[in-house]
Amino acid sequence: MRYALIFIIIISLNACSSTNQAEKNLMLENEKVTDFALVIHGGAGTILKENMTPELEKQYHAKLREALLAGYNVLQSGGSSVDAVEAAIIPMEDSPLFNAGKGAVFTNEERNELDASFMDGATQNAGAIGGVRRVKNPIKAARAVLEKSKHVMLTGAGADAFAREQGIELVDTSYFYTERRWEALQNVKAKEGETFILSEDDDYKYGTVGAAALDKNGNLAAGTSTGGMTNKRYGRIGDSPIIGAGTYANNATCAVSSTGHGEYFMRYMVAYDISARMEYAGATLEEAAGTVINEKLVEKGGSGGVIAVDKYGNVAMPFNTAGMYRGYVKADGEVKTFLYK
């Protein structure tokens, strides 16, 4: 009788254990709020409605929508998060509206130098390029470094040469010239004189485009592309091509792309910090991103924002500037775009 009782207790315990595990599995399944998601940004800075014409505002919304739909079509058809990130960034690189690709700002030497990075959350592999001058779509070159080289970052003429070897389209440097960016450089030079010191209120340090995606297989990816800082000198490279600062992706937590004053994002490893708070402190995406951007970064004097998506399809878009070009789309296909606070 005693053995029978023990046997019944063991069976009951096993049954309870199985039930508890089933409940946990169900809870985990329920946590996933969407099959896939994509979030993008087109830079943060002094983006105010009073400074925007209705026509220009429409152009920004339209281009953000185009970028989101390009990535959505990839994800909806079962494509990878890596493909979706590239698809979303290319329309923004091809537009003079953003400080990336065609719309890149000018350096002090009056030329365009482009940076980009890419990270695959499934493999933790990453690729980046810095200071390239002829790559039409820098995000393609960053992805090529990720997938087709043994390195993480290539810069300058070597990165241009690598892109050529990979069959990535190169253009004449004149392709990147836009009157708007040229005038911006002249204005900054006139303000600074010989000091190379500008007020923290000046908008010379903002720009960048980026995307982060979750695909139907649960894989995350993120990418960032920029023309850098207006009037930058000495081969300066900012946070955009720095893994952990401008871009980060980890299937266990989230995918992040940053925009803002790059020096601060590099010092405090903003993109990785968000992931680390989720992984080690159990913070939600919203909590982690909000704390880093609106508390930690502000305390240190840094400005900018991030876009991010977690492994459940939740998105976050915090920024501490006047505005940030941004938007997202999930499995329901509803595209949302924003410019201001």
| Residues noted as catalytic | 208
How many angstroms separate the Cα of 21 from the Cα of each of 14, 113, 244, 247? 10, 53, 35, 35
One-letter amino acid for residue 24 of the chain: K
What tokens appear for 238 in the block? 């900012």
Placement of tokens 């390029």 in the chain: 129
Is 300 exposed, middle or buried, given 0-12, 13-18 or 19+ CB atoms closer than 10 A?
exposed
- Identify the bridge partners of residue 132 per DSSP, sorted by sequence position: 114
- The 3-state DSSP class for residue 287 equals helix
Residues 126 and 242 sit within 8 Å (Cβ to Cβ)? no
CB atoms within 10 A of CB 175: 14
CA dihedral 316, 257, 63, 215 (to 10 degrees): -70
Residues 135 and 143 sit within 8 Å (Cβ to Cβ)? no
What tokens appear for 222 in the block? 């993120």
- The 3-state DSSP class for residue 16 equals helix
- The 3-state DSSP class for residue 339 equals strand
Report the candidate in 19, 51, 269 with the shortest Cα–Cα distance to residue 11.
Answer: 19
CB atoms within 10 A of CB 52: 16
- Identify the bridge partners of residue 256 per DSSP, sorted by sequence position: 248, 308
**DSSP assignment letter at 77:** T
